[in-house]
């Protein structure tokens, strides 16, 4: 169902009266994603701090307008038609870090590579893998992001979470977050405001060297210079999505201006002129071929936002959760 234009304008006006952050109508979401693709949101809200989230909760939950939380956009693909609802982005007020005796806290909009380097300079070990995570702290919690054999759940101790639907926030322990492989128990209206991590003392120079090696490996083995959203599919139990896709002969396969990376088969990169539909069609094709050849139903890590062709959604929504 389409969002009523008058209802969207009323919601935007009410939000402008309650929050310090930015409120815009019909604003492109392409700049908020690593693919730099996709149409606009009916309403875009950039919240500057927790008080703004209180205002958003008070205004939004009285409406029937759908809500989408957009972080650094490293695991979403927004439809060419955009998102018919409210897109909520956490702004500069959620970018911060502090440390007390090895206990580190960070705001949800803090980039994971920034946090990884900040903790390493202080001689605190555990978050080195974050240098390879393109998303924010909040996104890392929601997706239990991981790389190079480590995951967020290995070091997180808890998070402050705002339930926009209920209009209240509370501390969620690591057990209460329900973290598993590239998933969490957070609901669609749960907003991570900050997270806490337990790290251990280590030699700062050694940590920096480890992160340089991670960056070097990724430059050699992954397509960092082309628009992408990281791993397209989660690794199936005991196997690698990239290995299966490559074994299916799909490296370099193109649909429109979207291509299975020649460097790493579990990445879909784009060329100038690509559309979100190109990427989605290629994802669906890859999943279909791998399932037919190997009997493995790959689970997408990338979330599709908005309207896509019916046959694409039929393939991708059939993925196990």
Question: Which residue in the list 182, 281, 287, 299 is annotated as catalytic?
Answer: 182
What is the largest distance, in Å, between two alpha-carbon atoms of the chain?
Answer: 58
CB pairs under 8 A, 24+ apart, for 249-257?
250/286, 250/289, 250/290, 253/282, 253/285, 253/286, 254/282, 255/281, 255/282, 255/285, 256/281, 256/282
Helices (H), the chain: 5-16, 50-60, 112-121, 137-143, 174-177, 204-221, 241-247, 276-294, 310-316
Is 299 a catalytic site residue?
A: no
Structure tokens at 165: 């639907």
CB atoms within 10 A of CB 110: 23
Q: How far apart are CA 266 and CA 240, in angstroms?
A: 9
Is 292 a catalytic site residue?
A: no
Angle, CA 179 vertex, CA 187 and CA 85 arms, to 5°: 25
Q: How far apart are CA 307 and CA 65, in angstroms?
A: 16
Q: Using DSSP, how many helices (H) and how many strands (E) does the chain show?
A: 9, 18
Is 301 a catalytic site residue?
A: yes
Question: Which residue in the list 151, 160, 193, 301 is annotated as catalytic?
Answer: 301
Phi, psi of 115 (to 5 degrees): -65, -40
Q: How far apart are CA 189 and CA 208, in angstroms?
A: 36
H-helix or E-strand spanning residue 90: strand 83-90
Question: Which residue in the list 231, 259, 261, 287 is annotated as catalytic?
Answer: 231
Give the residue numbers annotated as catalytic, written as ranges.
182, 231, 301
């Amino acid at each position: 169902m389409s969002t009523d234009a008058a209802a969207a304008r009323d919601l935007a006006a009410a939000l402008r009266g309650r929050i310090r952050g930015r409120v815009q109508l019909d604003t492109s979401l392409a700049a908020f994603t690593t693919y730099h693709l996709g149409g606009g949101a009916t309403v875009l809200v950039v919240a500057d701090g927790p008080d703004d989230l209180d205002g958003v909760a008070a205004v939004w939950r009285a409406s029937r307008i759908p809500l989408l939380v957009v972080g650094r956009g490293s695991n979403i693909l927004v439809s060419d038609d955009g998102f018919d609802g409210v897109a909520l982005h956490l702004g500069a007020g959620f970018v911060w870090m502090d440390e007390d005796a090895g206990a580190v806290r960070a705001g949800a909009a803090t980039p994971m590579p920034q946090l990884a380097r900040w903790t390493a300079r202080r001689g605190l070990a555990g978050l080195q893998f974050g240098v390879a995570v393109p998303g924010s702290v909040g996104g890392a919690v929601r997706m239990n992001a991981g790389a190079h054999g480590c995951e967020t759940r290995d070091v997180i101790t808890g998070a402050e979470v705002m339930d926009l639907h209920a209009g209240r926030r509370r501390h969620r322990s690591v057990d209460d977050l329900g973290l598993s492989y590239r998933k969490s128990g957070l609901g669609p209206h749960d907003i991570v405001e900050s997270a806490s991590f337990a790290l251990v003392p280590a030699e700062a120079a050694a940590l920096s060297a480890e992160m340089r090696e991670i960056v070097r490996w990724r430059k050699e083995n992954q397509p960092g210079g082309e628009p992408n959203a990281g791993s397209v599919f989660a690794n199936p139990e005991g196997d690698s999505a990239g290995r299966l896709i490559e074994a299916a002969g799909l490296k370099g396969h193109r649909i429109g201006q979207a291509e299975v990376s020649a460097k790493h088969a579990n990445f879909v990169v784009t060329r100038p002129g690509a559309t979100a539909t190109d990427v989605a069609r290629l994802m669906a094709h890859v999943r279909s071929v791998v399932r037919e050849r190997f009997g493995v139903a790959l689970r997408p890590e990338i979330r599709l936002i908005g309207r896509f062709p019916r046959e694409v959604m039929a393939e991708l929504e059939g993925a196990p959760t």
